[in-house]
């Protein structure tokens, strides 16, 4: 079992920055990948950034170069540093721990929220 709790969301103007945090507890070694996903009303949840157990990272094209995913040394806290935010980044952001062969595969794989472990989400709102 694993529990994930996100924090750090909020409202910011376009061009601003936010850092999301995800505190993981329980058996953190059971999932190969951890990542950040986002969802807006009426749309499917999408992967934003993934890090796998080898430390490799992958990003969706729209956030490449603006967002950075990383973990602390104990791998119990996952972060997402978001810079140069755009209104299109507005969404509910979820932290997740999932089984995956690699970050590169997970970033484009279908999202099944009934598999793996998911946090409750934190809202990010970017105004123009």
Q: State residue 88's pLDDT score.
A: 97
Closest CA to 7 of 46, 32, 36, 48: 36
pLDDT single digits (tens) 18-30 = 999 999 998 877 7
Closest CA to 93 of 27, 26, 33, 40: 40
- Judge contact between 69 and 79, C-beta under 8 A: yes
What is the rounded average pLDDT of the residues 98-120?
A: 92
Tokens matching residue 106? 């997970």
What is the rounded average pLDDT of the residues 41-46?
A: 96
- Judge contact between 6 and 117, C-beta under 8 A: no
Q: State residue 125's pLDDT score.
A: 98
């Amino acid at each position: 079992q694993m529990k994930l709790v996100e924090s750090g969301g909020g409202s910011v103007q376009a061009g601003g920055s936010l850092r999301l945090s995800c505190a993981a507890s329980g058996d953190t070694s059971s999932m190969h990948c951890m990542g950040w996903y986002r969802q807006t009303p009426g749309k499917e949840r999408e992967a934003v950034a993934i890090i796998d157990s080898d430390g490799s990272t992958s990003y969706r094209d729209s956030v490449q170069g603006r967002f950075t995913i990383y973990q602390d040394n104990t791998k119990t806290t996952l972060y997402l540093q978001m810079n140069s935010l755009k209104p299109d980044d507005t969404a509910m952001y979820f932290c997740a721990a999932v089984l995956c062969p690699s970050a590169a595969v997970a970033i484009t794989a279908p999202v099944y929220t009934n598999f793996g472990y998911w946090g409750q989400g934190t809202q990010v709102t970017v105004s123009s």
